Amino acid sequence: MYRAVYFICWFCVSCGFSFVTSYENIALNKTAHYVSYMSTVRKDANDVVDGRKLYTDGKCLSTQDFWELLIDFGEILSIHHITTYIKDPSGYDYLACSSGSYGENCNKRCEINCRSCNGVNGLCDSGCKPGWKGIACKEKCGNNTFGQSCTGVCGNCLENEQCHHINGSCLHGCDPGFNGLKCDQGCMNGSFGKNCMERCGSNCLSCNAVSGVCDFGCNPGWEGDFCEKECDNNTFGQECTGVCGNCLKNEPCHHINGSCLHGCDPGFNGPKCDQGCMNGSFGKNCMERCGSNCLSCNAVSGVCDFGCNPGWEGDFCEKECDNNTFGQECTGVCGNCLENEQCHHINGSCLNGCDPGFIGLKCDQGCMNGSFGKNCIERCGSNCISCNAVNGVCDLGCSAGWKGTFCEHECSEKTYGVGCAESCGNCTNGEQCHHVNGNCPFGCVAGVYGIKCDQECPHGRYGINCGQTCPSKCKGCNRFSGVCEFGCHSGWKGTLCEDIGRYYNLN
């Protein structure tokens, strides 16, 4: 058995409700409440189920927000249909048809593509089902749109074909570079072309989804639009920007890793032949050793371009220094090695000693401190100012009082002093004065005095060492004999003015 109930679940602003039917109205005068979305409190809604159909008596429910109507039937019942009376904005009351129908007595069906039509005129006021548009929802979506309200945008359908108006699928496939039911997915995982059926070149990092060109570059070692060519022109690696090393005979290196498959030109080594020979090596693959006396040799030829260790010369530093040279670049000059012997080529030492007059490991130091001869082991004469370092001759002269080649003789012939250049005074008995200072050790001859007997007796003195006084009556006596050679004082006469003169007045 079917019974009618007058009932609504969702409603809009400023609406009133009442329920009627030609069937048995099972909602009549049942307990009813409504609940606002703005509150959880139940409010009385008995006016909705009081059986009235018109708004003229003011007995309809009005609300300012959406609400939920709850009617307690008191038991479980089967419902045939629901009829709602609504006051529209024009002020007229009409019967609200159930979903999918419209017109008087709700006996007309809404258009099949309407979501829900107007209960009076059947217009699709609530919009169309997905894929349809227009007042009556009779037009399919176009202009590359689909779906609800035609707001979906078609993907990349083949040759810009319209997609399916409801679900957006591309019925005849996709433009190159896209796939998926709606052709809205770009090619992935190394694919390109129509429906992404073609594969990118195996050496592409990632290719253009339409043309397959390797827009994002190639794997190391490859080049070209499709990364189909190996690197050439002595290049390798990522984008062919690596430059090959020195492969043997300019052979191309491996296009990916740059290795030289047949070895290196002389002077280089390493997998890429990009490392110069090191640690004293040279030649092909750096297998040969530089000369042991090289500072560093040419990596190709082995020539000692950077010079030799001290004591060596020649292109390969194979020759010891000679011509009286030694040391770094053979620029050191040997000292005075014995009999002009070559000194040691490295340190310049004289292995068999020095020529006379020189000393030291290199025989480059002259004898010093009064020494001379071989290895300076002989002593200069004690009276030399300084002797010749080779033969001991007193080249710079003798100490005062000495003479001779080796200053071995005292001054003689009445000379003394430096170079025996000073003359002795009047020493007694004509003796030689002291050879150094000229002193007369045994006194002076008559008429002179002083330690060198080189001073004449002063006035009034005479004799040996001027030890005697002239006679008192002399005006001045001879300094040797005492004779009054300058005459006597008045009244005196004689050699020594010892006699009284004839006319001398005693008073």
pLDDT at 10 over 70: no
Higher per-residue pLDDT: 273 or 51: 273
pLDDT at 505 over 50: no
Rounded-to-integer distance, Cα 50 and Cα 196, Å: 68
Spell out the alpha helix ranges (H) of 138-216.
none
Rounded-to-integer distance, Cα 159 and Cα 295, Å: 76
Cβ(76)–Cβ(88) below 8 Å: no
Q: Is 468 helix (H, G, I), strand (E, B) or coil?
A: strand
Cβ(297)–Cβ(281) below 8 Å: no
pLDDT at 317 over 90: yes
Mean pLDDT of the chain: 85
29 falls in which pLDDT band (50, 70, 90)?
A: confident
Give tens-digit pLDDT for 252-305: 999 999 999 999 999 999 999 999 888 889 998 889 999 999 988 999 999 999
The Cβ of residue 398 has, within 10 Å, a number of other Cβ atoms equal to 22
Rounded-to-integer distance, Cα 295 and Cα 292, Å: 8
**Amino acid code (one letter) for 275:** Q
At 96 the pLDDT is 61
Give tens-digit pLDDT for 396-451: 899 999 999 999 999 999 999 999 999 999 999 889 999 999 999 888 999 899 99
The model scores a pTM over 0.75: no
Least Cα distance to 226 among 216, 240, 236, 238 occurs for 216
**Amino acid code (one letter) for 445:** V
At 106 the pLDDT is 78
Give tens-digit pLDDT for 159-203: 999 999 999 999 999 999 999 999 999 888 889 998 888 999 999
At 115 the pLDDT is 84
Rounded-to-integer distance, Cα 66 and Cα 87, Å: 16
Give tens-digit pLDDT for 85-120: 665 554 444 456 666 788 877 788 888 899 888 878
Rounded-to-integer distance, Cα 330 and Cα 319, Å: 11
pLDDT at 24 over 80: no
Question: In DSSP terms, which residues pair with 140 in a beta bridge?
Answer: 132
pLDDT at 45 over 90: no
Rounded-to-integer distance, Cα 506 and Cα 500, Å: 10
Rounded-to-integer distance, Cα 453 and Cα 447, Å: 9
57 falls in which pLDDT band (50, 70, 90)?
A: low
**Amino acid code (one letter) for 295:** L
Using a 10 angstrom Cβ sphere, with 0-12 exposed, 13-18 middle and 19 or more buried, the burial of residue 392 is buried
pLDDT at 454 over 70: yes
349 falls in which pLDDT band (50, 70, 90)?
A: very high
Q: b/e string for 338-362 if b means 16 or more Cβ within 10 A? A: beebbbbbbebebeeebbbbbbeeb
Rounded-to-integer distance, Cα 402 and Cα 385, Å: 10
Question: In DSSP terms, which residues pair with 358 in a beta bridge?
Answer: 366
What secondary structure does DSSP assign to 224-256, as a single string? STTS-EE--SSEESGGG-EEP--BGGGPPPPTT
Q: Is 148 helix (H, G, I), strand (E, B) or coil?
A: helix
pLDDT at 139 over 80: yes
Tokens of 253: 């290196």
- Average pLDDT (202-211) is 90
Tokens of 372: 């001379």
Rounded-to-integer distance, Cα 175 and Cα 196, Å: 9
Higher per-residue pLDDT: 502 or 195: 195
Rounded-to-integer distance, Cα 143 and Cα 146, Å: 9
The Cβ of residue 72 has, within 10 Å, a number of other Cβ atoms equal to 10
pLDDT at 491 over 80: yes
Q: Is the dihedral of CA 36, 38, 39, 40 positive or negative?
A: positive
pLDDT at 220 over 50: yes
What secondary structure does DSSP assign to 278-315, as a single string? -SSEESGGG-EE--TTBSS--TTT---TT-B-TTEEST
- Secondary-structure percent of the chain, ordered helix, strand, coil, rounded to 5: 10, 25, 70
Rounded-to-integer distance, Cα 359 and Cα 349, Å: 11
Cβ-Cβ contacts under 8 Å for 191 (sequence gap 6 or more): 179, 197, 198, 199, 200, 209
Least Cα distance to 246 among 232, 277, 222, 267 occurs for 267
15 falls in which pLDDT band (50, 70, 90)?
A: very low
φ and ψ at 274, to 5 degrees?
Answer: -110, 10
At 253 the pLDDT is 94
Q: Hey, what's the torsion of the CAs at 258, 262, 264, 269, to 10 degrees?
A: 70
With pLDDT > 70 as the criterion, what percentage of the chain qualifies?
86
Give the residue carrying structure tokens 């190996």. Answer: 230
Q: Hey, what's the torsion of the CAs at 158, 162, 165, 171, to 10 degrees?
A: -30
Q: For the CA atoms of the chain, what is the radius of gyration? A: 72
35 falls in which pLDDT band (50, 70, 90)?
A: confident
- Average pLDDT (458-472) is 89
Cβ-Cβ contacts under 8 Å for 164 (sequence gap 6 or more): 131, 146, 170, 171
At 504 the pLDDT is 44
Rounded-to-integer distance, Cα 482 and Cα 209, Å: 151
